[in-house]
A = this chain, B = another copy of it.
Amino acid sequence: MRIEDLQSVAQQLFDAVRRLSDDGVGVTRASYGAGESAAADFLRAFAEQEGLEVSLDRAANMIFSLPGAGTAAGVWIGSHLDSVPQGGNYDGLAGVVAGLLCLMKQRRSGRATTAPLRVIGFRGEESAWFGKAYMGSGALFGKLTPEDLELRQRSTRQTLAECMNAAGADVDAIRAQVQLLDQGQVSAYLELHIEQGPVMVARELPVAVVSGIRGNVRHNQVVCTGEAGHSGVVPRWLRRDAMFAVADLIVRLDGHWRVLLERGTDLVVTTGVVATDPAEHSISRIPGRVSFSFEARSRSRDTLEAFYQLMRAECDAISRERQVGFEFDRRQLSDPAQMDPALCVVLADACRQRGITHDLIPSGAGHDASLFANAGLPSGMLFIRNQNGSHNPDEAMEISDFMLGVQVLDDAVEKLCTTVGEPPIS
């Protein structure tokens, strides 16, 4: 059988999971929440019916394989099961379905690769829920800290520890930052993901090979504190307006960003969540308290660090000039990651041999693959063209583009899994 024959199965899987997590606007699959669990349960039942073996790792991620894969080294294909609130159906799910199709092909054709293929559906990749990304993959590498485990879900206010425990994770081991993944089982990690930016649509590329992944530095919440007061009666020189201070900061950061771009620095800067304090704000009141999030992303760790220090220096300057204070929650850093050059060649060769238009492009968004890459495991990613951006209900992927990506992934697995025992790539 050919993997392209599984297109209708792929479509059915996407449709079924969409229905399970439909929120009336898009899909909502909260990290360690109802929609994510429903997706995982559905895929488990489906895979078992297909004769695949399904298990949970100690971080509650779901692992699929042919029966009897044991602990042998092999290729892993992974992506995540969760979504942002009112997100799109393909962000994450596409990669898990792609992996399942590769396993199904091996199972249905009765031709398993020499080294086992494992597919992993990560829980908790999106930062939208706990203010922290890569929770499921991070836990595998001992990267979740005790503080992370105390983060609270944006709606339910349950801690991450409670939610991971409910999903079946070994929270004590995670808290102790034990390495839960036996890296000896991973000869290579591959991830297929929709592109989340506008590049591939503009350049008419159905498939792309990812060269590297931007890292980021973040504060979920910075609080600027000035002094509230009646808007009519406090003259400018006596004001300590927290909103004017935050606006000043944003405009300064924007100015630095513009200059850095002109020098060729890779950087994006975002303040996604900004608000005066709803408990006390009003039209006729000088804002005494403004909270905001800060995020910078770059392919360079040095750029992240330098821009972060610049931001802190501007906060200090504004504190002095405007008589306000800035309080920062815990700084979060996700390192940039390079994809393995040899794996990039394998993926690009597969595209070429199938006559698929492709190119090498960087990923602006973060992915679980960065955890594998930064743990020293050879990692590669494929992007699939996707309309209307991502993290919104309108994201759209053509099933035909997806199947081209699955084809390339399957070809790469075939190539890599017959060379196991030696390093997969020279």
Contacts and interface: CB of A to CB of B under 8 A. Distances in A.
Interface of A: 84-86, 126-128, 131, 133, 195-199, 214, 216, 218, 220, 228-236, 238, 241, 243-244, 246-251, 254, 257-258, 261, 268, 270-276, 278-287, 290, 293, 295, 297, 363-366, 389-392
Nearest to A129: B282
Nearest to A228: B392
A128 B283 contact: yes
A397 to B, nearest CB: 15
B247 A283 contact: no
Contact of A214 (B196, B232, B280): B232
Contacts of A234: 197-198, 268, 364, 389
A247 B246 CA distance: 8
Contacts of A127: 282-284
A419 to B, nearest CB: 33
Contact of A196 (B85, B233, B272, B273): B233
* Chain A interface, DSSP helix/strand/loop, else mixed: loop
A231 to B, nearest CB: 4
Given A127-B284, A234-B268, A243-B271, A389 B251 contact: no
Contact of A281 (B243, B251, B272): B272
A363 to B, nearest CB: 8
Contacts of A271: 243-244, 247, 287
B282 A128 contact: yes
A279 B133 CA distance: 20
